[in-house]
Amino acid sequence: MRKIVPQNPLNKKIAVEDESRSVAFGKAPAPVPYTSETNIYLVGMRASGKTTLGKLLAQKLSRPFLDTDDVFVEQHGQSIADFVAANGWGAFRDAEAEILRSVSKSKGQVISTGGGMVLRQENRELMHRSGPVFYLYAEVPVLVQRLQADPLQDQRPSLAHSSLEDDLRAAFAERESLYLGVAHFVLPAVESLQDTLADALDKLQLLARVRK
């Protein structure tokens, strides 16, 4: 068995499972049996790369890709920013939970979630019991940099009407334990996309082998 030596910033919270790739198992119990029919979920903060990595992963695995924010916009015919301005965040969280319930009924997809999907216990339980959950972990300064470069304000209206950095810090403080709690794997989201993709594929191969 591989020696478990914590070596990255996550080491205070979880055991690092694979030193060479610095990918860690989260605190959550093992995921459901993994087959080509199992959905794969990506969770994490805004701009951690869920949508970008999810598309790559789906392509590599020849699976359908789905982003819960895209489904929201298709269903509502308006941007998240406009919807939240008119109806508030609570209404968005209701709609987001309904989307997750609905899309998770289909099988074998890679599902990138919006950053706040973990806020509802119902969502966390659903994801956790229906497929492997990857938490894309990045620290706030990295997220700030990415959001300044590519804000997508229609998709990501301010959460608390504070500065971008304060918004992210408050969200990170509230959500970090939720991400860690729901995740079966934690992927440092600051590596190159190709490295992060390789990490995720390694972990899925491991799950496929465990099943046999």
188, interface contact from ligand ADP, ligand S3P, Mg ion, none, CB < 5-8 Å by kind? none
Considering the complex, state which of residue 32 and residue 152 has its C-beta at the smaller distance from ligand ADP. 152
Q: From the list 51, 123, 130, 196, which residue makes contact with ligand S3P (rule: CB under 6 A)?
A: 51
- Gap between the Cα atoms of 112 and 55, Å rounded: 8
Asked if 36 and 68 touch (Cβ cutoff 8 Å), the reply is no
Q: Which does 95 bind (CB under 5 to 8 A by kind): ligand ADP, Mg ion, ligand S3P, none?
A: none
CA angle 109, 36, 178 (to 5 degrees): 55
Residues 140-179, one symbol each (x = binds ligand S3P by CB under 6 A, - = not), give ---------------xx--x-----------x--------
Residues facing 44 on adjacent strands: 136
Query: 99: Cβ–Cβ under 8 A, 6 or more apart, which residues?
Result: 68, 71, 72, 75
CB of 42 to Mg ion, least distance (A): 9
Count of beta carbons in the 10 Å neighbourhood of residue 198: 15
Query: Is position 79 an interface residue for ligand S3P (rule: CB under 6 A)?
Result: no
Residue with tokens 């590596």: 191
Q: Which one, of 93, 150, 147, 149, lies nearest residue 124 by Cα?
A: 93
The entry of ligand ADP, ligand S3P, Mg ion, none near residue 150 (CB within 5 to 8 angstroms by kind) is: ligand ADP
Closer residue to ligand ADP in complex, CB, 126/168:
168
Q: Is 211 annotated as a binding residue?
A: no
92: which residues sit within 8 A by CB, 6+ positions away? 72, 80, 83, 84
**Cα-based distances in Å from 43 to 2, 110, 210:** 27, 11, 23
- Check binding of 51 to Mg ion (CB under 5 A): yes
Residue from 31, 44, 131, 188 touching ligand ADP (CB under 6 A): that is 44
- Work out whether 50 is an interface residue with ligand S3P (CB under 6 A): yes
Q: How many residues make contact with ligand ADP (CB under 6 A)?
A: 14
Applying CB under 6 A, the residues found at the interface with ligand ADP are 44, 46-52, 112, 146, 150, 189, 193, 196
Summarize the annotated binding site as residue ranges: 47-52, 69, 93, 115, 156, 175
